[in-house]
Amino acid sequence: MFKLVFTFSMIFIIACSGLDFVKQKKSENDELTPLQLLIESNVQKYTPKKDKQAILMCSVINKTDKAVIIDTSLSYNNFGIYGRGEGHPFDSYLWKYEESENEEKEGILKSGKKILIFQSLLDDLFFGHEEMSNNQNKDVWIWGWSARPEPPLSPIHIWRGEGYVESATFWFCLRINDKFIESNKLTLEIIK
């Protein structure tokens, strides 16, 4: 199963490398594009394994005058969370080990409304690899990247070393109408 999930993850990364990513830019009248992706946290400074209530949230805001349909299944070909720790040479991507099959789920997002499409505790996102190595839970989030050599354990971990970086930046992408739209970037200060 691991090989299957890993293979699909690598295919997704390779496929996305050629896709047209649309960044959220301000137009001449200083309004955001019609659909805004927002990544946020309830903390700006994160202390690993101590901030037990710290969360990461990914949302879509409809700034159009019409309702839109959003795929909220979080399947690997529609949604991705990315991060880069200070001093890391590449962006990392988040994927779920032993991912179950995602049924397509559509959510209707009314004009002017916001829909939460992903939420998780930061500890779960950054330390899932520990649960996996302790055989406590195989259904965990882990980080990877599409380059060699091996990635850090997560964007907050020092690459090829012990401890944590001083800051890490996160964003997510969502496929809407066959284009990937990129969210804002969120930088967390890591308290050691």
Domain ranges across the chain: 2-190
In whole angstroms, give the CA distance from residue 6 to residue 190: 29
pLDDT number for residue 131? 59
What DSSP element (H or E) covers 122? helix 122-133
pLDDT number for residue 177? 76
Which pTM value belongs to this model? 0.77
Whether the bond between 149 and the residue before it is cis, its omega within 30 degrees of 0, is yes
pLDDT number for residue 162? 92
Q: DSSP E strands: which ranges in 66-185?
A: 68-71, 79-85, 92-96, 106-109, 114-121, 141-144, 167-176, 179-182
pLDDT in tens, the chain (192 residues): 444 334 334 434 433 433 333 333 333 333 445 889 999 999 999 999 999 999 999 999 999 999 888 877 777 678 899 999 999 999 999 987 555 555 567 778 899 999 998 999 999 999 876 655 555 555 678 898 988 888 999 999 999 999 999 999 999 999 887 788 999 999 999 998
In 10 A of CB 6, how many CB atoms? 13
Amino acid in the structure at residue 140 = V
Helix then strand then coil, % of the chain, to nearest 5: 15, 40, 45
